[in-house]
Structure 1
Amino acid sequence: MKTIGLLGGMHWESTAAYYHTINAVVREQIGGVHSAQCLICSVDYHPIRQSLVAGQWGDVAACRLRAAGFSRVGLVGTRQVMEQEFHREPLERLGLTVITSGEEERRWCHELIFRELWCGSPRAPDRKIMRRMLDGMAARGAQVLLVACTALAPHLTRADSPIPLWESDSPHVHEAALVGLEEVPLPE
């Protein structure tokens, strides 16, 4: 088994969830008392937030969404996620139609993430607004909602959305577990 390097700290709850998912895949694949060989490096998100460093997260997520039969994806996250091309382009390149909320809702969601979610859970009124936003994207044809924000994803449940929720990093975490088990080659 290979050692998996996991960069954490973007939102510590997500790091814990990724670690859990990797080990769940290992248990599912080989059973027993096996667990993943992981090295976790947790970083302080504050400097990253200041520069809003973006990564190429969309390719794996897009492939998994297409393989699951989805063609119209609601995209939820910060304003950068919902508005800038580097998040939309990998999805659109594989033929997915990307649906986002209106400008005012995008601004509200961005502020919610940085004002409230980095410090705890959303308040009940904010949860109602989020549900309306997700309902709106479903009404405009989204078949699935891709939650591309590690601060937002842990706070959304099936009850919050009329359509399936996919966390954008989940396909990467699953793929990392398979690479660690040497079942798939490292990406080029």
Structure 2
Amino acid sequence: MRKIGLIGGMSWVSTRTYYEDINQLVQARAGMDVSAPLLIESLNFADLVRLSTPEQWANAAEILSDSAHRLEQAGATAVLIGANSMHKVYDKVAAAVSVPVIHIAEVVGNKMKADGITSATLLGTRNVVMESFYRKRLVAHGITLLPPVMEEVEEVDRIIYEELMQGKVTRAAERTLKSMLTTMANQGAQAAVLGCTELDMIVDVDANVLPIYDCTRIHAEAAVDWIFG
């Protein structure tokens, strides 16, 4: 098995999910006694939360690039960025290392295309939903995304930062997301993309009004594909 590196800590909740998913998937393939060959560098989320200015994003790119380089030096043969929003600096991180950096939206787009999905809704933090760096990866696979509704974008962003990233799950948040997904299904979405690693805490991935593409799980599956070569 090939060793893989995870840039984590953005938040610690999502890092825990990656660790669990990757190991469970490895065990499913290789047996219950097998653990994933995995390196994790957990960054300080306080240095990376709610970035807005070009200077802040440039600093984030440097932090993540340095982390990827350290993981490569420690023996990682590929790297994951354990946060959808931080893929805004993907190109700079990928350029900093000689090993592959597996892009979360790319593997999600590949899976949706293979499943014949052509229309979807994207849920996540404000920058993931509103900016082009993430959306264009899905659109490139022939997927039309519903236009964002600012009121919904702001509410999901609030739930993610104020609740989920603190490990807090509420019935109110669950109801809010279920209502949004029902509306989006009525607007023609064939599926929903969970473009935030914590959203599976309040969205039932296996039983919902729409097929759910859980980016974290799909990213973990791609990592395990790499591990087994």
Q: TM-score, normalised by structure 2?
A: 0.72
Counterparts of 1:115 and 1:130, CA distance in 2: 15
Q: How far 1:31 moved relative to its partner?
A: 2.5
1:27-46 matches, cutoff 5 A: 27-31=27-31, 33-46=33-46
Relative to 1, partners in 2 of residues 1:104 and 1:7: Cα closer, same or farther, differing over 3 Å? same
Residues 191 and 211, structure 2, Cα contact 8 Å, conserved in 1? yes
Structure with the larger RCO, 1 or 2 (CA within 8 Å, 6+ apart):
1
Counting aligned pairs with the same residue, the percent is 29
> Per the alignment, in what secondary structure is the counterpart of residue 171 of structure 1?
helix
Q: Which residues of structure 2 form unaligned runs of 5+?
A: 58-85, 91-103
CA RMSD, 1 decimal: 2.1
- CA offsets per residue over residues 114-152 of structure 1, 9 Å max, x none? 222222324333332222111111111111111111232
Aligned partner letter, 1:118: M
CA distances 1:95-114 after superposition (whole Å, capped 9, x unpaired): 10112542111111112222
Instruction: Tell me whether 1:136 sits opposite 2:177 in the alignment.
Output: no
For 2:23 and 2:162, the matched residues in 1 are separated by 32
Contact 2:120–2:192 (CA under 8 A) maintained in structure 1 = yes
Q: Does 1:10 align with 2:10?
A: yes
Amino acid at match of 1:10: M
2:215 match: 168
Q: Which residue is 1:81 aligned to?
A: 128
Cα–Cα, structure 1 residues 159 and 129, in superposed 2: closer, same or farther, change >3 Å? farther
Taking structure 1 as reference, are residues 30 and 124 closer, same or farther at Cα in structure 2, changes over 3 Å only? closer
How many angstroms apart in 2 are the aligned matches of 1:129 and 1:158?
15
Secondary structure, counterpart of 1:73 in structure 2 = strand
Q: Aligned residue for 1:179?
A: 226
Bigger shift: residues 45-54 or 99-108: 45-54
Larger mean Cα displacement after TM superposition, 36-45 or 14-23: 14-23
Asked whether the equivalents of residues 61 and 169 of structure 1 are also in contact (C-alpha less than 8 Å), the reply is: no
**Structure 1 runs (4+) greater than 3 angstroms displaced:** 158-161
Is the Cα contact below 8 Å between 1:76 and 1:146 reproduced in 2? yes
